[in-house]
Structure 1
Amino acid sequence: MVTLRALAFALLAALVIPASAADDGADCLGCHTASADAPVHAVFQTVHGGLNGGGNGSCLSCHGDSAEHAADPTTHMPGVSFGPLWLSPTGERNGACTACHTGGTTMHWSNSDHQQEGLACDSCHNSHQHQDPALTPAGSQRMCLDCHSRVQAEMLLPSRHPIAEGKTSCGDCHNPHGSLAEANLRQPTVTDNCLQCHQEKRGPFLWEHPPAAEDCSLCHRPHGAVHERLLITRAPALCQQCHVAAFHPSVPYGSEGLAGAGRNQNILGKNCLNCHSQVHGSNHPSGARLTR
C-alpha cells in the first residue's frame, strides 16, 4: 500500500527532477525510490536538492558520476560515499563539499585544526536532513561536546557560561571550520571575543588595568570555573599573583592564615574587589586605584 509520505516524496521528486535527468548518466532515483529509501529523498527538501539541475543531477554533484555503482550497485559503491569512513577517503568526502563551500565561514577550513585531525564534513553535517543538526544550537553543542569532553566537564562547574541553558553556544565564540586566531576563535584575540558580549568592559578607560586590557583569560576561565565570575582563583590570591610589591597590604596570604593558624581576616572575609571594584578600568577622576 502506498503511504501518504511515499506519495508526497514521489510528487516532490516529480516537481524537482527535470525531463533531462534520466539522460545524465546514473539513474539514482530509479533505485532510490521514495518508498524504498526515504532519507535519500529528504535531500530534495534542502538547498542541496537543487544542485546541478535537481533530481539525479543533485546526487551526482556530491557523489560523483558513480557509473560503476549504477551498473552494479551490489558490488560497487558510489564514486564518493558518505557512509562508514572506510568507504571513501576523508579528502574525497570533503572535496565534494569544498567544491562549493569555499567562502564565508568556511574559507579557513584548509589546514584548520579539525581538518588536520582528519574530520570529514559529514562527521558533523547531514546534508540529507531537512534541518541539519549541526546548524541548530542544541545539535551543534552536542557534536562539539562529543569530542571536547574537558569542556563538557567544565560546563558543570559552579561558575560557567549558560551554554547548557541554550543562552549561548560554542559557535558564538568558535568557528568550527577554522579561523586565523587560536582555538578557532571568531575574533582575532580572546579579549576581542569576550567584548562581543561584555561590551561594558570595552575601553578606552581613563585608568586602565593592563591585564584586563591585554587578555581576559589571565584572570578568567572561559568554559567554567570553581570560583565566581569564572575566575581562575579567588581574590586576594588572584590579585597577588601580580601585586607583590610592598604596598597596602601586600603580604602574601596562604593557607597558614586559615582557621587554626591565626584566622587571617583577609583570607576569611576580605577581598581586594571590595574596594577595587572597577578592576576592568575606571573613568572616574579619582579612580587611579580602580576604586570607583
Structure 2
Amino acid sequence: MQLRIYNIFYGIAALVLLSFSIQAVPWSQLTAEQLAQQLEQKFAEGKYSKKGADTCLMCHKKSDTVMALFDGVHGQENNAKSPMAGLQCEACHGPLGKHNKGGKEPMIAFGKDSQLDAGSKNSVCLGCHNDPKQMAWHSSSHNLDEVACVDCHQIHTAKDPVMDKMSVNDTCTSCHAEVKAAMNKRSSHLLKWDHMSCIDCHNPHGSMGESALNQITVNDTCYSCHAEKRGPFLWEHAPVTDNCASCHNPHGSVNESLLNSRAPQLCQQCHMDDGHASRVVPQDGQDAFGGGKSCLNCHSQIHGSNHPAGSKLQR
C-alpha cells in the first residue's frame, strides 16, 4: 500500500514537472502547431486587457518599432476604422491573457521570427481589409505561394513604403528579381525611373485576369495606355489582336520597342512560306530584308491598317 502511494506521488510530481517544463519553454521557440493551439485557446477564453494599449506599453514603450505605430493610420484613436479605436494592440496581436505576467503566454507575432504560418497571419489583416480590392486574394499567386501581408507591408511606420508609388517597385523587385533585370535592359517601360509602378498594371492582391493584371486581358492592360493600338482596323494583324506579349516583353528587352527578338527573326516565327520572308539575310545587311528595320522597312503599319490598300500592312 505504501509503495502504491509513493508511485502515485511520483507520477503526479512528474506530470507537474512536465507541465511546468512546457510552460517554461519561451513561446518564440514553440512549434507552429503548438503556437497555433495555444493561441486558439487564448481566443476561446477571450481575456482582453481592460486597459488596452496602456498595458502593452508598460513593457514595450521603449521600442522605437512599437512606438512608430502611432505615426501611422493603424495607431490613430480618432479614426473609427483604426485598430487603436477598438481593441487597440490586441485587435491584431490577440487577447493579452497572462502574457504580461512574465511573458509566458504567446501573442500573435508578425515578424520574421514568427512561427505562425502565412495564412494565420493574413487572416488577421483580412479581418478588416475585406473590401472588393481583396476579393481575388484567395486565388492569387501570392496567397497560393504563402506570401504574408507583412512580407510586403509595414504597419508600425508613418508611411508604408509599398503604398508609395515611388518605392513600391523596390518592394516588388525584392522578390521578382527577373523582372528587375528586365527593367534595366536597353528598351523598357519607365519602371526603373519610377515614372511607372508595378501596380499600374498588376494587382498584387489578385485579379480576375491572368498574371494578376488590373484588366481582364494582357491587351486591355496595354490599351489602357496605348489606345492607338486598340483598333478596330480594316486590316488587323492576328498576333496583335491575340496578345501583345506575342511580340513584346512588357518588362524590358535588349531589342528596340520591347520586342522579344529582332526582325526578321521575330516575323519569321510565323511568316516562313510567303516567298521572300524566309530569304536568308546577307551578312552585310544591305538590303530591304536586313537593313534598317528589316521587315518594317515596308510593313510599317504592323499593328493594323485602315488604308484600303493596306492588306499587307504597308500603308
TM-score bracket relative to the smaller structure = 0.7 to 0.9
For residues 114-193 of structure 1, what are the structure 2 equivalents within 5 Å? 114-193=142-221
SS in 2 for 1:27: helix
Partner of 2:313: 290
**Paired AA for residue 65 in structure 2:** P
**Do 2:53 and 2:89's aligned partners in 1 also have CA atoms closer than 8 Å?**
no
Q: What is the deviation of 1:70?
A: 2.4
The answer on whether the counterparts of 2:109 and 2:116 sit within 8 Å (CA) in structure 1 is: yes
Equivalent residue, structure 2, for 1:258 = 283
- Counterpart AA for 1:89: D
Aligned equivalents of 1:252 and 1:68: distance in 2?
80
> Does 1:71 pair with 2:101?
yes
TM-aligned CA deviation for residue 55 of structure 1: 6.3
C-alpha distance after superposition, 1:231-267 (max 9, x if no partner): 11111221222222334x233335xx314xx976622
User: Size of the alignment, in residue pairs?
Assistant: 263
Residue number in structure 1 paired with 2:88: 58
Structure 1 position 47 matched with structure 2 position 47: no
Q: Report the counterpart of residue 242 of structure 1 in structure 2.
A: 270
Distance across 1 between alignment mates of 2:191 and 2:83: 40
Structure 1 residues not aligned, in runs of 5+: 1-20
The normalised TM-score by structure 1 is 0.81
Q: 5 Å matches for 1:101-120?
A: 101-120=129-148
TM-aligned CA distance change 1:53 to 1:245, over 3 Å = closer
The answer to whether the 8 A contact 2:68-2:156 is kept is yes
**TM-score, normalised relative to structure 2:** 0.76
- The equivalent residue for 1:17 is none
**Cα deviation, residue 114, structure 1:** 1.0
Q: What's the offset of the Cα at 1:83?
A: 1.9
Amino acid of the residue matched to residue 174 of structure 1?
A: H
For the pair shown, the structure with the greater C-alpha radius of gyration is: 2
Distance 2:69 2:301 in 1: 54
| Kept in 2: contact 1:27–1:56 (CA 8 A) | no
- Whether the 8 Å CA contact 2:97–2:105 is kept in 1: the answer is no
Equivalent-residue separation in structure 1 for 2:119 and 2:73 (angstroms): 23
CA offsets per residue over residues 252-283 of structure 1, 9 Å max, x none? 335xx314xx9766224451212221111122
Q: Given that residues 52 and 89 in structure 2 are in contact (C-alpha distance below 8 angstroms), is that contact kept between their aligned partners in structure 1? A: no
AA at the equivalent of 1:46: G
Deviation at 1:53, TM superposition (A): 6.9
The alignment yields a C-alpha RMSD, in angstroms, of 2.4
Q: Is the 8 Å Cα contact of residues 236 and 305 (structure 2) preserved in structure 1? A: yes
Q: Does 1:276 align with 2:276?
A: no
Residues 37-64 of structure 1: CA deviation (Å, up to 9, x unaligned): 2332332333322457736822111111
Does 59-68 or 40-49 show the bigger shift? 40-49
Pick from 200, 210, 215 the counterpart of residue 228 of structure 2: 200
Q: Structure 2: which 5+ runs fail to align?
A: 1-48
Mark the CA change 1:65 to 1:279 in structure 2 (over 3 Å): closer, same or farther: same
Show the counterpart of 1:222.
Answer: 250
Deviation at 1:22, TM superposition (A): 4.4
| Gap change, CA 1:228 and 1:31, over 3 Å in 2 | same
> What's 1:3 paired with?
none
Matched residue of 2:170: which SS?
helix
| 1:26 CA displacement | 7.8
Task: Provide Cα deviations, 1:96-127, integer angstroms capped at 9, x if missing partner.
Answer: 10111122322111131111211111111111
Identity of aligned residues (%): 41
The amino acid that maps onto 1:58 is Q
